[in-house]
Amino acid sequence: MSTTTSTARQPGVSVGNWKAGVVSGVAGALAMGALVAAMNLPTVAVAIPSLYTLAPPPSPGVGLVVHVSHGAVLGVVYAGLAGAFGLDSPRKRLGLGLVWGVVTWVGLAALLMPLWLSAVGSPASPPFPNFAIPSLLWHVVYGLVLGGAYVATGDRL
């Protein structure tokens, strides 16, 4: 006796490629992390590890690991959005990356991060809200690299 299992999907509906989302999120987070470290090392060394009470002492390595982990998770969310919206052209995927970078800046960096750092008693707690322009630049870089990497890997992984 044999059993056949099939999964039905509606034609034209895609769920996105989560593997490409992870790879692309890591690529974006590494690019962003390098830029953040070059422009404001305490953000990587103190603020990011402080989210999980891992600082002080300052630790750029721990901060980068945490940051890249966040980038990977956010890359999976991006992939889900790209699939849900049926974005199949490079231009649309790159555009979503740019928008996703701005959305993560507003929602996570400017609003959630100051509250979170204050709640854990971080020495690097910024004011609330924290609409810092350098942070916008960093998140736009994340989004553009994420989108570009997803264009390159989304149909291959």
**114 near 130, Cβ under 8 Å?**
yes
- Residue 147's pLDDT is 98
Residue 58 lies in a domain: yes
Residue 13 lies in a domain: no
Residue 37 lies in a domain: yes
Residue 3 lies in a domain: no
- Residue 16's pLDDT is 84
- Residue 157's pLDDT is 86
- Residue 86's pLDDT is 94
Residue 112 lies in a domain: yes
Which range marks the domain in which residue 73 is found? Answer: 18-153
Residue 106 lies in a domain: yes
Residue 78 lies in a domain: yes
- Residue 9's pLDDT is 47
- Residue 13's pLDDT is 45
Residue 114 lies in a domain: yes
- If one counts the domains in the chain, the total is 1
- Residue 3's pLDDT is 66
What does pLDDT average to in each consecutive run of 10 residues of the chain (157 residues)?
55 74 98 97 95 90 97 98 95 98 98 96 93 98 98 92
Reported pTM: 0.89
- Residue 11's pLDDT is 47
